[in-house]
Amino acid sequence: MRKSARTVAALCLATGVTGWFAGCDASSPPRSESSQRPSTAPSTAPSTASAAVPDDVVIAVAGDVHFEGALRDRLADPSTALAPVTSTLAAADLAIVNLETSIGTGGRPEPGKRFTFQAPAAALAALAAAGVDVATMANNHALDYGRTALPSTFAAIDAARAADPALDVIGIGRDARTAFRPAVTEVGGTTIATLGATVAALDPTADPTGQWAATARSPGTADAVGPQRLLRAVARADATADVVVVYVHWGTQGESCPTGDQQLLAARLVERGADIIVGSHAHQLQGDGRLGPGYVAYGLGNYAWYTPTDLTGVLTLTVRPPDAPSGRATVTEAAWEPARIGADGLPAPLAGAAAAGFRGTRAELRDCAGLSAPS
């Protein structure tokens, strides 16, 4: 069984300090007793000379995925749709991508948008078969066919999770609370919470999709143009999870260096407890590296896309969980598997001089992002 060492569940507790999770779908199972973060209360058990050191966890992240152009026919067999590029994602304890398309049927293309994407429910099965554990839909294409298509979107998500509970979709919901619900992954006793949010409307060249934000009474995406809700969500996730990952749709399309707004939000997220922050929307690679105690990859670029892309790949992060409830997780290794997207829409690994050139480009991108190299 794929990734049989860990299980995935939605963290749904109804009241008390964890009441924030009450927005989880009723169908989501509660987190088990064994997965709870160690208590800070004094223990009556005999003390030991040293506590067990948690094992490192491996998190693989990739950028934008959709099924337009040459990729659409691949959905005829979802089990092999992304087969040529699945090994690195499937090998990780947790694999996360951005699903840059609406899902389902019906609706009409949003007026005023130059590009509108819609993929059938089979796209979710294709992600699950590829080893993807979490897909964020907090982006400026999730509602390309309007809110009238959302019932089919939620039906597709529910069916996909029933077929493969290891797949979770974040950043979209029937209301704001479910849109900001984190995916919670258990890896050998380590709890990882992953949140998705979009601030693409900060980009003046972006599509006018601010009206897609989920509210208390309407469905939509987890919108963080005003970041307070996202910051609160991160802080609450940090109170219960060992590792907090935030996938943000942000920045300026076509730009290789992050904006000042991206850098400011990244710093605030780290301050609130985010251990790993990754992003997309620029359709370009942007720098990755350390930001204080956190690790940031501002832009992961495209990953499975209908137009050729010079540089892409999978970023694999080795993470050491905190050894105490008050500690912080640490990224101990960050390794890119560089690739280039060809006419078939799939990434092909780089080798030789091209791979060496990628390493130099990565160093330049890190410098313009103001990040520190992994130690």
Q: Residues 211-229, buried b or exposed e (16+ Cβ, 10 A)?
A: ebbbeeeebbbbbbeebeb
Rounded Cα distance, 198 and 40, in Å? 34
Fold that domain 6-30+53-369 belongs to in CATH: Purple Acid Phosphatase; chain A, domain 2 (3.60.21)
Cα distances from 87 to residues 64, 262, 300, 332, 352, in angstroms, run 17, 31, 18, 22, 20
Domain boundaries, the chain: 6-30+53-369
Average pLDDT over residues 107-127: 94
Q: Is the pLDDT of residue 207 over 70?
A: no
Q: What is the b/e burial string over 159-181, where b = at least 16 CB atoms within 10 angstroms of the residue's CB?
A: ebbeebebbbbbbbbbebbbbbb
User: How does residue 208 score in pLDDT terms, banded at 50, 70 and 90?
Assistant: low
pLDDT in tens, 144-165: 999 999 999 999 999 999 999 9
Tell me the pTM.
Answer: 0.86
Reference 369, options 311, 313, 285; nearest CA is 285
Mean pLDDT, to the nearest integer, of 25-41? 34
Query: Within its chain, how far is the Cα of 340 from the centroid?
Result: 21
User: Tell me, what's the pLDDT at 51?
Assistant: 56
Residue 15 has pLDDT above 50, yes or no: no
**Phi, psi (degrees; rounded to nearest 5) at 283:** 60, 25
Question: Has residue 28 got a pLDDT over 60?
Answer: no
- pLDDT tens digits, residue range 48-84? 434 567 899 999 999 999 999 999 999 999 999 998 7
